[in-house]
Chain A
Amino acid sequence: MGLLRVRIGGGFFMNVKKLISRVIVYFLVIIGSISFILPFLWTVSTAFKPDEQIFLFPPKWIPEPPTLIHFKEVFEFVPFGLLYKNTVVLTLLNIAGTLFSCPLAAYAFAKLKWPGRNVLFLITLATMMLPHQVTMIPQFLIFRRLGWLNTMLPLWLPSFFGNAFNIFLLRQFFLTLPKELDDAARIDGCSFFGIFWRINLPLIIPAITTVTIFTFMGTWNNFIGPLIYVRSYNAMPLSLGLRMFQEAYSAEWGALMAASLMMILPVIIVFFLLQRYFVQGISLTGLKG
């Protein structure tokens, strides 16, 4: 189709012009891709390089021979397995908490009529504009008073009480579902909770997936939370653990890159498994915001 139009439009010169602009576009995209992928290759290369090759200049891209020693070192320098386990546990708890609290609240905001709904929704929206730093200090003091410092509780418990952004996002999805479905179910004697569970929830699985991904990414990424609340390895996730590791072994670039790769890998795997929902989630935040 495109070619056809070109033929009709301008003949040979148009074709050449089009070809040149195509070549330029591909050239730029390929140059860009290379510069975006180089930092990854650099990291992988360092992680598999024997120590004496890491500081060579000019650098050697292909390790000779590749070594797994740095991956072993990571587990010797810090209790990496424990950090990993903590992160996975935290992530699962946060996902469980979010999926328990947010869809229910979103359903109530979108589909049910009750006194105070609009006021509460406005307050919910308003709190989204407040920077996290405002609530950070009193939250710290609450958890300190409860004696929960140095435990994982402050890092997952709040998720069971909902999150304004997720509730807002899910509400928008519930709103797109036709009301007739609910009415029909009501006539058949279905309870409101039954409507939520059996009719509405299955229809917004894509949105639920998006929220789950956000929660996974947020927990895996969270640094300032663990930094404030956790000091010992027992309750520490990877993000802070990696920082402790770096503080103690700042020159062990091979091991540092190996540890970083192991932290990145699950995120990349989840991305490739759920690619569609990643992209959808981001464009949603962009378009509905």
Chain B
Amino acid sequence: MVKFIKNKEEIITAYICVLPWILGLGIFIIGPIIASFIFSFMDYSVVLAPRFVGLDNYKKMLVSDPLFWKSLYNTLYMTVIGVPLNIILSLSVALLLNQRLKGEAFFRTIFYLPSIVPQVAMSLLWMWILNPQVGLINYLLSLIGIEGPMWLASEKWAKPAFIIMGLWGIGGNMVIFLAGLQNVPQHLYDAATVDGANTWQKFRYVTLPMLSPTIFFVLIMGIIGTLQIFTQAYIMTAGGPMDATLFYVYHLFNKAFRDFHMGYASAMAWFLFIIIFIATTINLKLAPRWVYYESE
């Protein structure tokens, strides 16, 4: 009897504690998930009542919307080129800073700071930096005798410009890698030294395997984040020139909040979920080939 009362108090406390989240989960997440799924089979322009259209939205998306494919291509371009570059650079900086340098904290702060600059401010900064006539980048290029491209105004250079800007924000990943590096046990390096390993071999056969779970995590988060790129393009290029920076979520945003095709945009959102799901699954399947977990 006493035990029963005790449990009752525990259960009641628990439900009170978790009540806001149960409501939030229902109202702002589960409800909208169901609604969005239903909308994706409807034609819904907000002002008119929704009309059921079966698979039309998905068909239109895949067959007769060239901008859908264009935006998907642009987004995959950013992911396939931008994410690996980001990982290589952030890992390289972490490796450099992990050498017990004098002033390590100072350098770490400098590399980290850009990553906390709010995206809107970062976009404005880089519009100015990438200014073809008087911007910083083309000025620096001119110092070494290169005439810089038009960057954001060029169909060919707009996406690379976004990738370069993204590299300025590697600080978060760098900190993650630094934490990972500090977890590599020193005795492994000592053992490698005894075996006569050089610096490269130590990196290749000790650091890289020990760090592979961290790389895996950063890779997955990087892919998911890049697939949702939006703000920079909205502010810096408005998707141009010639739709060269019309990214997937930007197209989705236009469909939903410019054209008010809520059904079509919902279908796009679910397709994005499928892309993210497939990308993550492929990565999880490939992981055993290169990710090393100590406990195994």
A residues whose Cβ falls under 8 Å from a Cβ of B: 2, 21, 25-26, 28-29, 32-33, 36-40, 42-43, 46, 54-59, 100-102, 104-105, 107-109, 112-115, 117, 120, 123-124, 127, 129-142, 144, 158, 160-164, 167, 191-193, 196, 217, 220-221, 223-224, 227-228, 238-240, 242-243, 246, 253, 256-257, 259-260, 263-264, 267-268, 271, 275, 278-279, 282-283, 285-287, 289
Contact = CB atoms under 8 A, between A and B. Distances in A.
Given A133-B249, A162-B20, A264 B266 contact: no
Interface residues of B, number: 92
A26 B21 CA distance: 50
Given A39-B168, A43-B128, A112-B14, A133 B269 contact: yes
Interface in B107-128: 107, 109-114, 116-121, 124-126, 128
For the residues of A in contact with B, the DSSP-based class is helix
Interface string B126-148: 10110001101001001000000
30 contacts: A36-B113, A36-B168, A57-B133, A57-B139, A101-B24, A104-B18, A112-B17, A113-B11, A117-B14, A120-B22, A123-B25, A123-B30, A129-B276, A130-B273, A133-B268, A134-B32, A134-B266, A134-B273, A137-B265, A138-B32, A138-B33, A140-B257, A141-B262, A164-B29, A224-B231, A253-B128, A256-B124, A268-B113, A268-B116, A286-B214
Contacts of B68: none
Contacts of A37: 110
Contacts of B120: 221, 223, 238-240, 242-243, 263
B72 to A, nearest CB: 14
A135 B118 contact: no
B46 A282 contact: no
Interface stretch (B56-64, B152-160, B173-181): B173-181
Given A36-B114, A138-B39, A239-B120, A46 B17 contact: no
Contacts of A117: 14
A32 B106 CA distance: 13
B22 A246 contact: no
B138 to A, nearest CB: 9
Interface of B: 7, 9-11, 13-18, 20-25, 27-33, 35-36, 39, 46, 93, 96-97, 99-101, 107, 109-114, 116-121, 124-126, 128-129, 133-134, 136, 139, 142, 168, 172, 175-176, 178-180, 183, 199, 214, 217-218, 221, 224, 227-228, 230-231, 234-235, 249, 252-253, 256-257, 262, 265-266, 268-270, 272-273, 276-277, 280
